[in-house]
Amino acid sequence: MLTLGISAYYHDAAACLLSDGRILGAAQEERFTRQKYDPALPVNAVRYCLEQAGATIADVDRLAFYEVPRHKRSRQEWQAARRTEGPEVKVTAQETEARLRDGLQWTGDIHFVDHHRAHAASAYYVSGFDDAAVLVCDAVGEWDTTTFWHGRGPELTRLGGVRFPDSLGLFYSCLTSYLGYRPNSDEYKVMGLASYGKPTYEASLRKLLELDADGGFTMDTQVLDFVGEPEGYRSNLAELLGIPARRPGDPVLPHHADIAASGQVVLESTVSALLDWLSRQRQTTNLCLAGGVALNCRANAVAFEASAFTRMFVQPAAGDAGTALGAALCAEPPEIRTAAAPSVMRHAYLGPSYGSDAVAELLTGAGVPFRDFRNDEQGLVDAVAGALAEGRTVGWFHGRMEFGPRALGARSILADPRREDMRDRLNSKIKWREEFRPFAPAVPEERAEEFFVMGRTSPFMIDLFKVRRPDVLGAVTHVDGTARVQTVNAAVAPRYHRLLHRFGTLTGVPVLLNTSFNLSDEPVVCTPVDALRTFLRSSLDLLCLEDLLVDAASVPAELREAATEEHRFVAGAGLRQGGELYSFF
The enclosing domain of 497 has a CATH number of: 3.90.870.20
- The answer to whether residues 524 and 407 touch, using CB atoms and an 8 Å cutoff, is yes
pLDDT cut 70: percent of the chain above it = 94
SS in 3 state form for 229-293?
A: CCCCECCHHHHHHCCCCCCCCCCCCHHHHHHHHHHHHHHHHHHHHHHHHHHCCCCCCEEEEECHH
Predicted local distance difference test score (pLDDT) of residue 569: 42
In tens, the pLDDT along 187-218 reads: 999 999 999 999 999 999 999 999 998 889 99
CA-to-CA separations, 446 to 253, 467, 488, 502, in angstroms, rounded:
41, 16, 8, 15
DSSP 402: B
Residues 378 and 327 in one domain: no
Predicted local distance difference test score (pLDDT) of residue 437: 83
Q: Which domain holds residue 546?
A: 356-568
Residues 430 and 287 in one domain: no
- Higher pLDDT: 575 or 234? It is 234
Using CA atoms of 168, 174, 176, 177 in order, give the dihedral in degrees to the nearest 10. Answer: 160
Among 42-51, 421-430, 438-447, whose mean pLDDT is lowest? 421-430
The torsion angles phi and psi of 135, rounded to 5 degrees, stand at -115, 125
Q: Which residues are catalytic?
A: 11
In tens, the pLDDT along 396-427 reads: 999 999 999 999 999 999 999 999 889 888 98
Predicted local distance difference test score (pLDDT) of residue 87: 59
Q: Is residue 423 part of a domain?
A: yes
Closest by CA position to 50, among listed 102, 113, 6, 112 = 6
Average of per-residue pLDDT across 88-117: 90
CA-to-CA separations, 155 to 57, 114, 124, 125, in angstroms, rounded:
29, 15, 10, 9
Closest by CA position to 389, among listed 505, 491, 489 = 505
In tens, the pLDDT along 535-563 reads: 999 999 999 999 999 999 999 888 888 77
Residues 284 and 390 in one domain: no
Q: Is residue 521 part of a domain?
A: yes
In tens, the pLDDT along 470-513 reads: 999 999 999 999 999 999 999 999 999 999 999 999 999 999 99
**CA–CA distance, 431 with 28 (Å, rounded to integer):** 21
Closest by CA position to 401, among listed 460, 348, 343 = 348
Predicted local distance difference test score (pLDDT) of residue 431: 74
Q: Is residue 146 part of a domain?
A: no
Residues 440 and 407 in one domain: yes
Residues 514 and 367 in one domain: yes
Confidence at 572, pLDDT banded by 50, 70, 90: very low
Predicted local distance difference test score (pLDDT) of residue 579: 36
- For residue 46, pLDDT over 60 is answered with yes
Residues 362 and 222 in one domain: no
Among 421-425, 427-431, 528-532, whose mean pLDDT is lowest? 427-431
- For residue 566, pLDDT over 60 is answered with no
Residues 190 and 300 in one domain: yes
The per-residue pLDDT of the chain, averaged, comes to 92
Closest by CA position to 318, among listed 23, 67, 119 = 119
Confidence at 580, pLDDT banded by 50, 70, 90: very low
Q: Tell me how many domains the chain contains.
A: 3
Residues 386 and 534 in one domain: yes
Residues 324 and 381 in one domain: no
Specify the DSSP element, H or E, that contains 105. none
Closest by CA position to 480, among listed 491, 466, 493, 490 = 466
- Higher pLDDT: 574 or 318? It is 318
Residues 330 and 271 in one domain: no
Residues 484 and 553 in one domain: yes
- The answer to whether residues 178 and 184 touch, using CB atoms and an 8 Å cutoff, is no
Among 32-36, 89-93, 119-123, 546-550, whose mean pLDDT is lowest? 89-93
Q: Is residue 140 part of a domain?
A: no
The neighbour count for residue 16, using CB atoms within 10 Å, is 33
pLDDT cut 90: percent of the chain above it = 84
Specify the DSSP element, H or E, that contains 490. none
- Higher pLDDT: 220 or 575? It is 220
Q: Is residue 480 part of a domain?
A: yes
Q: Is residue 309 part of a domain?
A: yes
Predicted local distance difference test score (pLDDT) of residue 84: 61
Predicted local distance difference test score (pLDDT) of residue 577: 39
- For residue 584, pLDDT over 60 is answered with no
Closest by CA position to 202, among listed 291, 264, 288, 276 = 264
**CA–CA distance, 179 with 167 (Å, rounded to integer):** 19
Average of per-residue pLDDT across 302-319: 98
Predicted local distance difference test score (pLDDT) of residue 578: 39
Domain containing residue 212: CATH number: 3.30.420.40
Average of per-residue pLDDT across 286-313: 98
Q: Is residue 145 part of a domain?
A: no
Please, which residues bridge with residue 132 across strands? 151
Closest by CA position to 277, among listed 159, 379, 377, 356 = 159
Residues 300 and 409 in one domain: no
SS3 146: strand
Q: Is residue 161 part of a domain?
A: no
Average of per-residue pLDDT across 263-291: 97
